Copies of this chain bind each other. A is one copy, B any other.
Amino acid sequence: MTTAIRSEFDQGIALDQEGPGRYRAELGEGWQIGGGVNGGLLLALAGHALSKEHPEHPDPLSVSGYYLSASHPGPVEVRTESIRNGRSLSTGTASLIQDGEERLRVLATYGDLDARAGEVHTSAVPFELPPPEQCIGVEHAPKVLIEQAALLERFDLRLDPATIGWALGEPSRNGRIQGWFRLADGREPDPLLLLLVADALPPVTFDLGLPGWAPTIELTVHLRARPAPGWLRVSHATRNLAGGYFEEDAEVWDSAGRLVAQSRQLARAPRQS
């Protein structure tokens, strides 16, 4: 073992610069879910490219991704463009292009998460979760889920037994899935990883008795603090399944008990079975 080996996640978002605002990347085999590459990984890849656009504002604060077509493993081109470079914030846009087709368009604002890190007046409290050793690892998930989600092998994901009924054919229908998350290879969290984590749990519609995959239309992540090392506590929740779409709200809390990311996505609902 050598420390020179990059983590799987850092390999997954690695970029080769080809020119100003032009990069090549390789979507690895291990990040697939359902028919495509996980949307959170794509957002982290675009977010990584944009962090190079504004070196004085290294941290994503708000990242919005609009998903245009399904990606597959293989080479991808990333193009970035700065829109505004301000005193405390910078805004830019990124595109992921594969086989000549745009897969993802991102609009994002970057800043410095350490600038006013000590000012915490939040009234939010972390949700209750049994300790990781009392939660359910994906090694116990139905085989059909693991086969469709190669990326689960890269995660150490421990789901709350109270929100895993769907895996046993008994969805709670509360519209909530929650659990502990860390990368299987021990790579510690940072803001770019939070972009992946916002889309890392199974679709919350599983808990509504809809086992199909749910393609993301739009996903916005607000990064609210730099995460401390260790386990992340993640929840996905939905209330409004209607008109063929649903919202999925995610919260990510770090080991220091801080709400480090809030996200919402609009996704296409699987058809009622």
Contacts and interface: CB of A to CB of B under 8 A. Distances in A.
A240 B259 contact: yes
Given A124-B240, A245-B224, A217 B64 contact: no
A10 interface: no
A122 B240 contact: yes
Q: How many copies does the complex hold?
A: 2
Contacts of A272: 119, 121
A119 B244 CA distance: 7
B105 A105 contact: no
A58 to B, nearest CB: 15
Given A61-B245, A66-B107, A84-B68, A122 B239 contact: yes
Contacts of A107: 64, 66, 93, 105, 107
B89 A69 contact: no
A266 B61 CA distance: 9
Q: Give the bracket for the number of chain A residues in contact with chain B.
A: 35 or more
A125 to B, nearest CB: 9
A241 interface: yes
Contact of A217 (B62, B69, B102, B258): B62
A119 to B, nearest CB: 6
A254 interface: no
A110 B259 CA distance: 32
A1 B241 CA distance: 43
A61 B246 CA distance: 11
B243 A113 contact: yes
Given A66-B109, A69-B84, A105-B93, A120 B218 contact: no
Interface in A50-65: 61-62, 64
A93 B107 CA distance: 10
A258 to B, nearest CB: 8
Contacts of A224: 240, 242-243, 245
Interface of A: 61-62, 64, 66, 68-69, 83-84, 86, 89, 91, 93, 102, 105, 107-109, 113, 115-117, 119-124, 174-175, 208, 217-218, 220, 222, 224-225, 239-245, 247, 258-259, 262, 264, 266, 272
